[in-house]
Amino acid sequence: MKRRDFIQKTAASSALLAFPSVPLMAFDSPTKVKHLTILHTNDVHSHIDPFPASDAKNPNMGGISRRSALVENIRKENPNVLLLDAGDIFQGTPYFNYYGGELEFKLMSMMKYDLATMGNHDFDNGIDGFYSQLPNANFEFVSANYDFKNTVLNEIVKPYKIFEKDGIKIGVFGLGVQLEGLVDKKNYKETVYNDPVEISQEMTRILKHEKRCDLVICLSHLGYHYKNEPDKISDLNLAKLTKDIDLIIGGHTHTFLDKPTIVKNLEGKDVLVNQVGCYGINLGRIDFYFDSDKNKTNQGRTIIV
Amino acid sequence: MVNLKKSSLLSHHFVLFLTFIFLISCGEKKIFVNKIEGKQIAITNTIPEVSEIDNFIKPYREKINKDMDEVLAYAPETLEKSKGEWQTTIGNLQADITLASANKIFKSRENKSVDVCLLNHGGIRSVISKGNVTTRTAFELMPFENSLVVVALKGEQIIEIVDYIIKEKKPHPLAGLTFMIDKNNVGKNIWINGNPVDVEQIYYVATNDYLYNGGDSMNFFKKGTAVYDLDYKLRNIWIDYFKEVDTIPVIRDERIRKE
């Protein structure tokens, strides 16, 4: 009897849930717009303090404490924030020479960074130096094209991470630059670099189709574009050669852009590529507005940059 | 009792069916991006600081500042790597002081002279701003822990260096070696110590361990017949030089010229 009772109750509640769900959808979709804010940095290079007023290039710019204030304010405005870094967190000021990345990771954890990818300079104290600082980071690292199988980072740095914010499912995968010729082999050890385009196809298949993410972001340290080597893999080339990526957040080339670049992908769809220079001088902000009315979006996304 | 069981089984199926429908409709309720806004926010001094963050940094900062803020020299003008197609004032200075430092050690240890110094443009990580030059300047210029090496290269590899520089189109810090780039983008008049380069002769080239190990694809270093580790960090070359000199010179001579 008890069992029957339970089933009946379940049936009733299921029915209640099931039936209104149809008209609810119809009502719900046009009104409830979901809003996700992506904040990002790249190539901060241990620039914890602002540049001094006497600096020839960037006087009074940057500073992690100010960035923190800015992020806090944006979080108050919209709690659905993802804070990401595209690599080269390490190396560039004595903070790194003295403390090996401890302060960088601790401060990024205090600012509630969600995820980062690895840049070539994050190997500067060796892969072991990076590993030894990881207990100071409350956020994870992703890299899909570095195979860490035979290193200390095996199973620690994963290819991708999926976030859910206000019912929006966001898949973020990482890509790193070719290490050979750029980083001393004794520092990257047995890390294997794999082709970013092939890996991206695999990642988007998993994230967009298997895991059904609403948004796919690539966190890249490949570099924006190489003027002298236009065919070298870069964020602009990656965008053209792949599909199902909505946004590429880049780093490595310290590229300052006036605004995010819009690139047509393999299917002719728009991909946003952004990078915000270096040294924590800027914070990138990309706002995504979602709707459940497909008809609206079939007419194309409005991109305001 | 049998009946009852049957009906509960039926209702069980019904629940499953409903749940399934519910899940399907939920799955179909996919959301789509219809608007994207992107912008960049400059971190300026008009943004207030977060005291919690600043207090956390304070003890780290104080320790470093004590060491870093010692004034070592004076720069009459700003030296930077972005001004100059084939050489820059900062690159010339770095190559010159590195060659001189390497020479001093190499002479006393090996009783030989260093002929050339080649470093990489990308390795200059900052500027020497006009005004006081401190220990911090050296840390910003050379944050990496790389150290000085001397590689014995045949004249053949010196030609490879010339080809590499022309192909890379970057003002890599260079001293001891001069050459011209002709109209067909080929190097000529390749001279070391006032003599044309002899492809069979051995030349001693100062560089750092990163480049020697194939960094920036300077693969010619791997063809060296011998390598000498001078146990001297590139940052310390800067620091020791700043301590020695009073006013930083602005070196504008052309090591590479275009025809």
Q: Which CATH number belongs to the domain containing residue B134 in this structure?
A: 3.90.780.10
pLDDT band of B2, cuts 50, 70, 90 = very low
User: Is B8 in contact with A257 (Cβ distance < 8 A)?
Assistant: no
Q: What is the domain extent for residue B234?
A: 64-254
**Which residues 73-102 of chain B have a CB within 8 Å of chain A?**
78, 80
Of 3.40.140.10, 3.40.190.10, 1.10.375.10, 3.60.21.10, the CATH number of A34-296 is 3.60.21.10
Residues 6+ apart with CB under 8 A from A6: none
- A70 and B43 in contact by Cβ < 8 A? yes
Residue B228 lies in a domain: yes
Interface predicted TM-score (ipTM) of this complex, two decimals:
0.86
**Whole-number percent of chain B with pLDDT over 90:** 83
Residue-level pLDDT at A31: 53
Our count of domains for chain B comes to 1
**CA–CA distance, B184 with A258 (Å, rounded to integer):** 36
Q: Which two tokens stand for residue A39?
A: 């904040």
CB pairs under 8 A between A and B: 231
Question: Does B23 reside within a domain?
Answer: no
Extract the tokens encoding B70.
């010692």
Any domain includes B15: no
Q: What is the pLDDT of residue A281?
A: 98
Predicted confidence at residue B12, as pLDDT, reads 55
The mean pLDDT value for B157-164 works out to 98
Query: Residue B214 — left, alpha, or beta (φ > 0 → left; ψ -120 to 50 → alpha)?
Result: left
Domain spans in chain A, listed from the N-terminal domain onward: 34-296
pLDDT score, position B14: 52
* Distance, CA of A31 to CA of B248 (rounded, Å): 66
User: Would B240 be classed as within a structural domain?
Assistant: yes
Residue B22 falls within a domain, yes or no? no
Which chain A residue has its CA at the smallest distance from B168's CA?
A228
Q: Is the pLDDT of residue B136 over 50?
A: yes
User: Which tokens belong to A107?
Assistant: 């401060």
Query: Could you tell me if residue B233 is inside a domain?
Result: yes
Name the least confident of A77-86, B72-81, B136-145, B164-173. B136-145
Nearest Cα to Cα of residue B211 among B101, B134, B120, B82? B120
Nearest to A25 among B29, B60, B80 (CB): B29
- Our CA-based measurement puts residue A152 at a distance from the nearest CA of chain B, in whole angstroms, of 22
Comparing A114-128, A291-305, B108-122, B126-140, the range with the smallest average pLDDT is: A291-305
CA distance B129 to A208: 49
Q: β-strand B202-208 against B147-154: which pairing, if any?
A: antiparallel
Q: Which residues of chain A have pLDDT under 70?
A: 1-31, 294-300
**Position B122 in a domain:** yes
pLDDT of residue A72: 97
End-to-end, the C-alpha distance of chain A in Å comes to 63
pLDDT digits (tens, 9 = 90+) for A5-52: 444 444 444 444 444 444 444 444 445 789 999 999 999 999 999 999
Q: In chain B, pLDDT over 70 holds for what percent of residues?
A: 89
B65 lies within 8 A of chain A by CB:
no
**Residue B147 counted as domain residue:** yes
Q: Evaluate whether A238 touches A175 at the Cβ level (below 8 Å).
A: yes
**Interval B76-100 mean pLDDT:** 97
